[in-house]
Amino acid sequence: MPYISNTEKDRQEMLKAIGVSEFKDLLKEIPDEFIFKGRLGLGKGLSELEVSRQVSNLAKMNRSTSDCVSYLGAGSYDHYIPSIVPYLISRPEFQTAYTPYQAEVSQGTLQSIYEYQSLICNLTGMDICNASMYDGASAMAEAAILACRHTRKNTILISSTVNPGWIEVVRTFTKPSGYEIEIVEVSDGTFGKKDLEKKDLSDASCIMVQNPNFFGIIEDHDGIADIIHGNKGLLVTAIDPISIGLLKKPSESGSDIVVAEGQALGLPQAFGGPYLGIFAATKPFMRKIPGRVVGVTEDVDGKRGFVLTLQTREQHIRRDKATSNICSNQALCALAAGIYLNTMGEQGLKEVAENCYRRSHYLAAGITTVDGFELKYKMPFFKEFVVKTKYDVEKVMSVMLENGIFAGISLKRFGMASDEFLVAVTEKRSREEMDDYISVLKKFKDKF
């Protein structure tokens, strides 16, 4: 879109057309004492060259995952992004596309969303998927709201093994509606049937679980669905989409709603966003899910076409009775995920998952050979694990960073144990990089 400034003549014509003599007349409803007079303290203008120099100097102060070797996770991961993903999504037709309300001029955008939805249904084993949400955490919050409305029950059960940041978002979203959150405290690091069996679930609208969980552990969800369904509640499962290359689909454990952070599917970590909220459900919830849905249909000539569908759930039709106040989706991020999944294919995703698994186990085994470091849990994990140390975690992290390694995330940041940290290993980490991690730990032990 070109930027064309208004000339003084343009301005006069516009003012004349609306019947005022000067711009100030438009502000006369605002009492004079509230109007700022004088100049904003923005300093003198800078040339383009000066601005670009100043901003790139600021940017150089950051240390990103392209400057260091990253083992950071906790919901955002340094997976490889095939170059076809940024190349294709950079096309202006996609990058500047507006909401596809008008199907006749939006077939490309609509088709890309439809394909994304189909891929996610395939990946999760669910029947229906929306056009995407802002991120995994808000998708989980929307699932909680759906569960409360559907079951007409007000308590949301969440396993303590769910990402604590996501739990906070669910809390923020649901508090104004008067819903209550009950955290099911899990002591051994893994949520399962045992944690529900003795509970009174009569008020529970749902149980929300995460697999692999926040600590990277692969949870056994067999039997959970039967218990919660027996109490007329729903099973909401958060997944790591990459893990589906290796683990069971969430549909196999009887999930009613599946949510996920889709960043791992071809999106950069980018300081926390924009990300991709994946939301999929089984058919009985088709008219209750939040957000846009794209469907396929036929036009008058019998040709295939794509349209927004089931819009009566949405705010622009249903007003205050809408299933959600989301009026948008993350179309470009969903497109990236669609291209990523198409590029990798079933075999590629499986290889990525297997590599995450093997490499993370290689590093975990190596870390335990260093005196003063051990694995907190002796349980199956996917690509992330918790290390417990006798040293000061913050010191370990900063010494590692001096050596160009983002070694992990301190669990103290999440109000958890101060002597533990979370380490994530993706398919990008080479054996040399991991050997380097272990040797730096050994070499600088005296500094911790």
Partner 1 sequence: MEFPKDFLFTEDHEYAKVEGDIAVIGVSEYAQEQLGDITYVELPQAGAKFSKGDSLGVIEAVKAASDIYSPVSGEVVEVNSDLESNPELINSDCYGKGWIIKLRLSNKEELSGLMNSEDYKSHVE
**Interface with partner 1 (CB under 8 A):** 287, 312, 317-318, 321
| b/e map 170-191, b = 16+ CB within 10 Å | bbebbeeeebebeebebeebbb
- DSSP, residue by residue, 178-228: T-EEEEE--SSS---THHHHTS--TTEEEEEEEES-TTSBPP--TTHHHHH
Q: What angle do CA 258, 158, 288 make, to 5 degrees?
A: 40
Please state, in angstroms and rounded to a whole number, the distance separating the CA atoms of residues 239 and 35: 51
Q: Could you report how far apart the first and last alpha carbons of the chain are, in Å?
A: 54
288/412 with CB nearer partner 1? 288
Please state, in angstroms and rounded to a whole number, the distance separating the CA atoms of residues 247 and 259: 16
* In the complex, least distance from residue 161 CB atom to partner 1, rounded to whole angstroms: 34
Amino acid identity at 44? K
* In the complex, least distance from residue 154 CB atom to partner 1, rounded to whole angstroms: 18
316/358 with CB nearer partner 1? 316
149/193 with CB nearer partner 1? 149
28/287 with CB nearer partner 1? 287
259/307 with CB nearer partner 1? 307
Report yes or no: 330 and 351 within 8 Å, Cβ to Cβ: no
46: tokens are: 């800078």
* In the complex, least distance from residue 226 CB atom to partner 1, rounded to whole angstroms: 22
* In the complex, least distance from residue 257 CB atom to partner 1, rounded to whole angstroms: 19
35: tokens are: 């109007």
Report yes or no: 77 and 382 within 8 Å, Cβ to Cβ: no
* In the complex, least distance from residue 312 CB atom to partner 1, rounded to whole angstroms: 4
* In the complex, least distance from residue 172 CB atom to partner 1, rounded to whole angstroms: 28
54/312 with CB nearer partner 1? 312
* In the complex, least distance from residue 285 CB atom to partner 1, rounded to whole angstroms: 13
| b/e map 64-99, b = 16+ CB within 10 Å | ebeebbbbbbbbbbbbebeeebeeebeeeebeebee
* In the complex, least distance from residue 389 CB atom to partner 1, rounded to whole angstroms: 55
Amino acid identity at 326? I
Amino acid identity at 300? V
269/311 with CB nearer partner 1? 311
312/368 with CB nearer partner 1? 312
319: tokens are: 């007003």
